[in-house]
Amino acid sequence: MSIYRKLFGAGITAAAAGVIAVGLTAGVAHGQTMKPCCDDTSVNYSKDLWSALAKAGLAGSAARADTPYKGQAPHGAILETLQSEVAVGDHKGKVIVKRNYGGKGVSVDAVKGDRTKFIKAVTVMYKREAGYDKDNNNWFWAKYKPDGSLFTNPKGMMLAGRVMKGADKGCIACHAAVKDKDYIYGKQN
């Protein structure tokens, strides 16, 4: 599948969530036993990660402001991306936090004026310890609501962990188009 179909075929976040569900069903149908994501361990880890992000001023009500910019599908109309390092337990790793803004009247200036009003989701990539997911550069993926709880796909699976590893849609599949840049689309600092 071409990168363009991967990027723009999904269109909007809701549509992307829909295709994630299809991918998962396919994985289960093939007799996959390992849980790639969304299990209790991943959900609990996502809570610890959120606490670390909140403490570091990267998420939550006290999150520090950066520079919002116009985003591209599927993540949202206006985005704000922060890169840092945080510790979860005794592991310290790189983290990329992307705040996704949308809603009626959203614009870069509107977001700067009132982030709380327009925030829709916080998507995170966190570099875990070696061996966590060696096929996909050990990223932990999560899609949070602004209050730190997790988004679910239409099947009710919590979006945290090796999100839809092995499926042909979802976080890992789409970001794999930029595998040679460590799965990161944006600029790295």
* Closest listed residue to residue 175, CA positions, set 130, 141, 127: 141
Dist. CA 128–CA 139, nearest whole Å = 6
Q: Which is nearer to ligand HEC, 32 or 182 (CB)?
A: 182
Query: How near is the Cβ of 144 to ligand HEC at its closest, in Å?
Result: 9
What's the closest the beta carbon of residue 181 comes to ligand HEC, in angstroms? 8
* Widest pairwise Cα distance in the chain: 49
**3-state DSSP assignment of residue 189:** coil
Q: How far is the CB of 83 from ligand HEC (least distance, A)?
A: 8
Minimum CB–partner distance for residue 94 and ligand HEC (Å): 11
18: Cα separation from own chain's centroid: 15
Closer CB to ligand HEC, residue 44 or residue 84?
A: 84
Site residues for ligand HEC per CB under 6 A: 6-7, 10, 16, 71-72, 74-75, 79, 81, 96, 98, 123-125, 141-143, 159, 163, 170-171, 174-175, 184-186
The number of residues making up the chain comes to: 189
Direct distance between the N- and C-terminal alpha carbons of the chain, in angstroms, rounded to an integer: 30
Q: Of 79 and 119, which has the nearer Cβ to ligand HEC?
A: 79
CA dihedral (66, 71, 74, 77) positive or negative: positive
Nearer to ligand HEC (CB atom), residue 31 or residue 150: 150
